[in-house]
Structure 1
Amino acid sequence: MNAHLPSPRKAADQPAPAASPKSPCVDICRMDAARRLCTGCLRTLDEIGGWSGFSDDEKRAVLAAVAARRTKGE
């Protein structure tokens, strides 16, 4: 009788939600006044303060900026 209803999908059949990017914080929270960056995670105060409200795309942009800073040796 319920042939017209779609069968429930198993959880395994559904794509897993993408994980939100993790904070780059390494619990070494000291600001370098000259560089205006945290010496531990290499983020600016704006990036640190905004992290929890950032979209996943914004978080990925911060992570890319951090990676570039690391590469440049900042």
Structure 2
Amino acid sequence: MSRKSETQSTPSTPNPCIRHCCLDKDDICLGCYRSLDEILRWSQSTNEQKQSILDVCAQRKSERKGHWS
């Protein structure tokens, strides 16, 4: 199987954007919890990199919820 075929058969990691975009003072989106840099790099990132970004976002979200409870 060619590399191109492997890439086409691997499902893409979905974009976490929920269209509630608002950056905080640290340039973190309050909708999806990605940094501005992560948002800009998303379309060029591999699925592995995207999953890593999503893991960091989940941690940020958890930390934020703790501050606002």
Q: Does the TM-score normalized on the shorter chain lie above 0.5?
A: yes
- Following superposition, the deviation at residue 29 of structure 1 comes to 1.1
Q: Deviations over 1:16-62 (max 9, x none)?
A: x33211111000111112x3201111110110000000001000000
> Match for residue 4 of structure 2?
none
Q: Which runs of 5+ in 1 are unaligned?
A: 1-16
RMSD: 1.3
Identity of aligned residues (%): 33
- 1:58 is aligned, of 49, 54, 59, to 49
Structure with the higher fraction of residues in helix conformation: 2
- 1:21 is aligned, of 13, 17, 21, to 13
Structure with the higher fraction of residues in strand conformation: 1
Q: Which runs of 5+ in 2 are unaligned?
A: 1-8
Q: Which has the larger radius of gyration?
A: 1
Stretches of 4+ aligned residues off by more than 3 angstroms? none
Distance 1:72 1:28 in 2: 19
Count, aligned residues = 57
- Following superposition, the deviation at residue 72 of structure 1 comes to 1.2
| Partner amino acid, structure 2, of 1:27 | R
